[in-house]
Structure 1
Amino acid sequence: MTSPARILTVCTGNICRSPFIERVLQAELDRAWGPGAVLVSSAGTGALVDEPMNAPALRVLEVAGYSATGFRARALTPALVAESDLVLTATRQHRGKVAQLHPRALRYTFALLDFADLVSDLPRDGYAAADPADHIRGLVQAAANRRGMRPPLPEEEADVADPYRREDSAFDAMSAQVLGALPLLSAAMGPA
């Protein structure tokens, strides 16, 4: 087995959206491939460094059946981006910020909902591999090759809404967006 694939999730403060995505995706990939085969982490473009997950975001994470144990926010750095095989951002604007930090990452950085759309009906024979790291890296390449080959999601459907300092319903909506994309992501990222 090769070294694990590394997935980085990115939002602004790294206390709501990106840790939610990180923990949900890590749990699903651990179930699919076994712990340690794919490593998911998160960071923020304006991170509230060392803060725990925001309480309402933690609530929706736990309601969905996942854990934030040990989570602490951290700042996005060029090194974190450079060592990643896939960067999934909460918004298209975050994707731009990732590319500013490490321009070569543009080919493997996607807004989460755009990525879910790109891989939703991608033929597995074009990327599937028995090794989890090879599988994820092949999927990223196949998704990147598909950019521009189909209409992008409408702007209002492409971003995971920022619930920070908003009512509980905003956190529920954020959770629904991520969990709604999860079956598409799991089907593409998991073994055949």
Structure 2
Amino acid sequence: MTYRVCFVCTGNICRSPMAESVFRARVAAAGLDGLVEVDSAGTDGWHEGEGADPRAETVLRESGYAAGHAARRFDPSWFARLDLVVALDSGHLRSLRRLAPTKRDADKVRLLRSYDPAAGDDLDVPDPYYGDAGGFEECLEMVETASTGLLAAVRTDLEGQAA
């Protein structure tokens, strides 16, 4: 059985494609790439069909991650096939939970930084779009840190499905 994860930010050109790339690499390194499918989308369709922000792609490549992406908008029908929807900030969390057709679907939505015990109460990954390259580096660092806990949670879910 495939476990499906979708990362969601606003336009699907900065934070969520970065999270998708990092988590896909973590999944592959853990030997789970045949069991876990990783995707991303945006809450809005402003950038549909566009590539990721060049600054995001640069930071990803410089850190050894794959780049290459086409933005798309999250569709509420996807809840039926997804196991986990990972929001990058609290605004996305609220939007996605409002879009969810059922309470069970709304419960699939989690904040990425909730998987980082050191994040404390600050669970938003700030949008780097209006800043400089440093904001993209900070975003990547937050995504990498939270991805460790997220991978552990996904492993636990996979073990629960196998039992």
SS at 1:33's partner residue?
A: coil
Q: CA deviation at 1:49?
A: 0.2
Larger radius of gyration: 1
Aligned length: 154
1:11 aligns with 2:6: no
Q: CA deviation at 1:165?
A: 2.8
SS at 2:70's partner residue?
A: coil
1:90 aligns with 2:81: no
In the other structure, the counterpart of 1:174 is 139
SS at 1:42's partner residue?
A: strand
Q: CA deviation at 1:82?
A: 2.9
Paired letter, 1:60: V
Q: CA deviation at 1:180?
A: 2.0
Percent identity between matched residues is 32
In the other structure, the counterpart of 1:52 is 51
In the other structure, the counterpart of 1:110 is 110
In the other structure, the counterpart of 1:80 is 78
In 1, the alpha carbon distance for the partners of 2:55 and 2:149 equals 25
In the other structure, the counterpart of 2:128 is 163
1:62-73 → structure 2 map (5 Å cutoff): 62-69=61-68, 71-73=69-71
SS at 1:73's partner residue?
A: coil
Q: CA deviation at 1:34?
A: 3.7
Paired letter, 1:174: C
Deviations 1:97-152 (A, max 9, x none): 111111432211111001334xx9xxxxxxxxxxxxxxxxxxxxxxxxxxxxxxx9
Paired letter, 1:36: G
Question: TM-score when scaled to structure 2?
Answer: 0.85
Structure 1 portions without partners, runs of 5+: 121-151
In the other structure, the counterpart of 1:22 is 20
Q: CA deviation at 1:190?
A: 4.2
Deviations 1:36-72 (A, max 9, x none): 3100101101131001010001111112211123x10
RMSD: 2.1
